[in-house]
Chain A
Amino acid sequence: MKDGLITAGIDIGSTTSKAALWIDDHLGSHIIGPSTTNPRATARECYERVLQDAGLQDDDVAYIVGTGYGRAKVSFAHENISELSAHGRGAKTLLPSARTVIDIGGQDTKVVLLDAGGQMLEYVMNDKCAAGTGRFLDFIARSLGISVEDLEKLHASGDYQPVRLSSMCSVFIESEVINLVNDEVPLPFIVQGLHQSIASRVAALVKRVGLVEDVVITGGVAKNAGVVDALQRNLRITLKTFPDGVDPQMMGGIGAAVIAGEKYIKQNG
């Protein structure tokens, strides 16, 4: 058994799966991999990989918490929690001044409002509509014949002149984008418009719970600087980033690992 309290968080999302170790009060090894059609096996594989990276055995980990859409399939977890709780706790732990957490995942968007003590006070979710999610960016990028990683480069490659996309539905936006391409609208402006479209949807959610700074963004889409830029313009604030370059996509797994530590201490004193 290693010294210190080691806990793990396993976040099985719709697009990616993540695992993180939390050792006493800091982040240990952590990984991100694709989600598969076998979430049970994916969870096990992610967990074994972080253990391997850290040179640890299963017995070294005191408590495991699962989260994300596939949390019920993390069969080796001691318990599971919602991704709302996980993202809120992860963000608050790494950035204690955070009050509003925006999580843009592959399949949904969530906004969590934390009170001054870091407890969740309110949340809103968009889990009914693909527009405004990571999946939306994926398939629009495919339609444009570019990779999703190219989106942020295109966003920053010219003046800021986002086209206004009028459709509310991702399927119709795709048609609209194809029309714009055929009209020879410069690609950067189309991409800026796409990001602006996501930002306006997310901003509407943020306003529903009430914007309280500091605001941070988590989830895979947080790594797209174009979306972050559009969101900052829309909300007229500067979004905070996590210290030490911690990957915002890891926040669910980190939060789950932190909560695992708290649960262990509560149960074992």
Chain B
Amino acid sequence: MSRPSWNRWVSDLDAEINRKGENTVILGKERQKDWEVVYEGATGLIDLYQEDPESKGMNAIVGGFRVLMDGMFAAIDEGRPVVWHNCGCSPELIRGLEGVQTVPIELLTVLQNLVGEVDYTIALIDEAEAHGVAPEVCSIDKAAVGTVLNDLYPEPACMLYHNTPCDSQIAAIKSLTELTRKPMRLMDVPYLSGDREVQYLAKQLREAIPFLEEHTGIKFSWEIFREVCEESNRTAEYLRDWNELRRHTPCPQVSKLVALNTALLVAFSGDPEGTAIAKAFRDEAKERIERGESTVEGGELYRAIWYQDPVWFDLQFYDWMESELKLVIPMDLFGYYAPEALIDTSTPESMLEGLARKDLRVLPMSRQFKGPIDYFIDDYLRLCADYQVDFGIFAGHVACKHGLGGIGLFREASREADIPLLYFEFDMFDPRVTPVETIQDDITHFIEDVVRPRKEAA
């Protein structure tokens, strides 16, 4: 069965929303047009992918996000406390307080881009800049500030953040604290990731518990936290298997799934919905391998590791790579799930240490964008070898100084490993910096000039 057209669906959805007009209103001040659009979008995507038995993974993650939105709206209706967190902060600890709703500050932007409504993100970015946020701050962080300026998130009881993966996050966190005047606790994530650093972060996680209890009015439960960590481990095991399965040649699944993995971890770690999504990723890959199916119609010609940041503003871009270039991305920095993810649930201390270890060594970006550049480069070279790729793509998200700062060393390591490397700069949530057509040209020319001749010569 051929995949339904996303483009066609997006235009149908726009027409549908216009037809419904004010009848589509979802009650509540936080449920303004922005939420209506992403909710309708998610619903439309679920309808779209449900028609396609090959889209188990996409269907699961979009469905998961709709459940998350439902949970968020229900929390408002039921008066349950809401805690905001950032993408460097895995939400398991917050889930140890029964009934507390977690909201990642990047949520709305991710959803807008997932459903193809990037114009809404652009408006939020512009609003943040107009408010005084520096243009060089990461677009997702600017959009988060724009979201809060528009009161688009439910009011938090408090906020729990990690000062990772980057300076932009810290800038956004400061802005959000200033705008909301809500209690905020910031974990100091150290530069290195050894056992000493794990202990250091675990101690801060323990200290965050009374802070969360005080501001949510809910008692932290070690038993619930254990269940949450066990759920997180189940998700981790599926993702570990999924990472292995995607090594298969030909790659069994669409490239864009790897880009979505970080969203899965940030929004759903410790949530049964996260395990269901990870299982769907794993099952889809397994079943397609068993049936001998390639995600590229007509067979894949090229494989590449995509490093740094995905083209979030146009996820159809990945479909284009597969159909036009026969190029598949079996793994990227956002999809890679490091093996240290399992949390030892035997004691409270072991759980806190396990969560700290996950925050330090596993969460994409947090793992690579701190500490010596060697972490960043070594992961890349390992992925290139494990996934047997023809070349690497360093997609330099302009705000990401952590990656771009090491580009010289990165290039040098690629040359020494004899791995051709395409480098370009863009903004992952703002198509105005580098249009998708320019990125398409860059990749097409690189394949024509470098990759194809090398393959032919080999």
Residues of B311-327 contacting chain A, CB below 8 A: none
Contact with B along A208-234 (1 / 0, CB 8 A): 111000000000000000000000000
A119→B445 contact, CB < 8 A? no
Find chain A residues with CB under 8 A from B421 CB: 122
A115→B449 contact, CB < 8 A? no
A210→B412 contact, CB < 8 A? yes
A119→B453 contact, CB < 8 A? yes
**What is the minimal beta-carbon distance from B381 to any residue of chain A, in angstroms?**
15
Find chain A residues with CB under 8 A from B450 CB: 119-123
A119–B411 Cα distance when bound, in Å, is: 17
Which of A81, A84, A117, A122 has the most chain B CB within a 10 Å cutoff? A122
Contact with A along B435-458 (1 / 0, CB 8 A): 000000000010011100110010
A122–B457 Cα distance when bound, in Å, is: 16
Find chain B residues with CB under 8 A from A122 CB: 411, 414-415, 420-421, 450
A115→B453 contact, CB < 8 A? no
Find chain A residues with CB under 8 A from B290 CB: none
Find chain B residues with CB under 8 A from A123 CB: 449-450
Within the complex, which residue of A84, A119, A209, A210 is in contact with B454, where a contact is CB–CB below 8 Å?
A119
A85–B414 Cα distance when bound, in Å, is: 20
Find chain A residues with CB under 8 A from B457 CB: 117, 119
- For residue B78, CB closer than 8 A to chain A, the reply is no
- For residue A161, CB closer than 8 A to chain B, the reply is no
A115–B457 Cα distance when bound, in Å, is: 12
- For residue A113, CB closer than 8 A to chain B, the reply is yes
Within the complex, which residue of B415, B420, B449 is in contact with A210, where a contact is CB–CB below 8 Å?
B415
B411→A210 contact, CB < 8 A? yes
Given contacts A82-B445, A115-B418, A122-B421, contact A209 B411 (CB under 8 A): yes
A117–B454 Cα distance when bound, in Å, is: 10
Find chain B residues with CB under 8 A from A115 CB: 418
Find chain A residues with CB under 8 A from B445 CB: 82, 84
Residues of B399-455 contacting chain A, CB below 8 A: 408, 411-412, 414-415, 418, 420-421, 445, 448-450, 453-454
Find chain A residues with CB under 8 A from B448 CB: 81-82, 85
**What is the minimal beta-carbon distance from B92 to any residue of chain A, in angstroms?**
42
B420→A85 contact, CB < 8 A? no
Within the complex, which residue of A82, A208, A209 is in contact with B449, where a contact is CB–CB below 8 Å?
A82
Find chain B residues with CB under 8 A from A209 CB: 411
Overall SS of chain A's interface: mixed
A121→B415 contact, CB < 8 A? yes
A29–B345 Cα distance when bound, in Å, is: 78
Find chain B residues with CB under 8 A from A119 CB: 450, 453-454, 457
Within the complex, which residue of A81, A121, A210 is in contact with B418, where a contact is CB–CB below 8 Å?
A121
A210–B418 Cα distance when bound, in Å, is: 13
Residues of A89-126 contacting chain B, CB below 8 A: 113, 115, 117, 119-123
**What is the minimal beta-carbon distance from A21 to any residue of chain B, in angstroms?**
22
Find chain A residues with CB under 8 A from B449 CB: 82, 84-85, 120, 123
**What is the minimal beta-carbon distance from A83 to any residue of chain B, in angstroms?**
9
Residues of A52-91 contacting chain B, CB below 8 A: 81-82, 84-85
**What is the minimal beta-carbon distance from A15 to any residue of chain B, in angstroms?**
22
Find chain B residues with CB under 8 A from A85 CB: 448-449, 453
Within the complex, which residue of A113, A120, A208 is in contact with B453, where a contact is CB–CB below 8 Å?
A120
Closest to B456 in A: A266
Find chain B residues with CB under 8 A from A120 CB: 420, 449-450, 453-454
A210–B420 Cα distance when bound, in Å, is: 13
A113→B415 contact, CB < 8 A? yes
**What is the minimal beta-carbon distance from B434 to any residue of chain A, in angstroms?**
13
A175–B378 Cα distance when bound, in Å, is: 48
A120–B450 Cα distance when bound, in Å, is: 5
A9–B448 Cα distance when bound, in Å, is: 18
**What is the minimal beta-carbon distance from B396 to any residue of chain A, in angstroms?**
12
A25–B454 Cα distance when bound, in Å, is: 22
**What is the minimal beta-carbon distance from B128 to any residue of chain A, in angstroms?**
29
**What is the minimal beta-carbon distance from B130 to any residue of chain A, in angstroms?**
29
**What is the minimal beta-carbon distance from B438 to any residue of chain A, in angstroms?**
11
Closest to A117 in B: B457
**What is the minimal beta-carbon distance from B61 to any residue of chain A, in angstroms?**
35
Closest to A208 in B: B411
A223–B421 Cα distance when bound, in Å, is: 31
Find chain A residues with CB under 8 A from B420 CB: 120-122
Closest to A85 in B: B449
Find chain A residues with CB under 8 A from B453 CB: 85, 119-120
Which of A82, A117, A119 has the most chain B CB within a 10 Å cutoff? A119
A209–B454 Cα distance when bound, in Å, is: 18
Find chain B residues with CB under 8 A from A84 CB: 445, 449
A209–B408 Cα distance when bound, in Å, is: 8
Closest to B452 in A: A85
A1–B457 Cα distance when bound, in Å, is: 30
28 example contacts (A-B, Cβ-Cβ < 8 A) are as follows A82-B445, A82-B448, A82-B449, A84-B445, A85-B449, A85-B453, A113-B415, A115-B418, A117-B457, A119-B450, A119-B453, A119-B454, A119-B457, A120-B420, A120-B449, A120-B450, A120-B453, A120-B454, A121-B415, A121-B418, A122-B420, A122-B421, A122-B450, A208-B408, A208-B411, A209-B411, A210-B411, A210-B415
Residues of A within 8 A of B (CB): 81-82, 84-85, 113, 115, 117, 119-123, 208-210
The 9 tightest CB contacts between A and B, nearest first, are: A119-B454, A120-B450, A84-B449, A82-B449, A85-B449, A121-B420, A119-B457, A210-B415, A120-B449
Contacts beyond the supplied A119-B450, A120-B450, A210-B415: 8 A-B pairs with Cβ under 8 Å: A82-B448, A119-B453, A119-B454, A121-B415, A121-B418, A121-B420, A122-B421, A208-B411
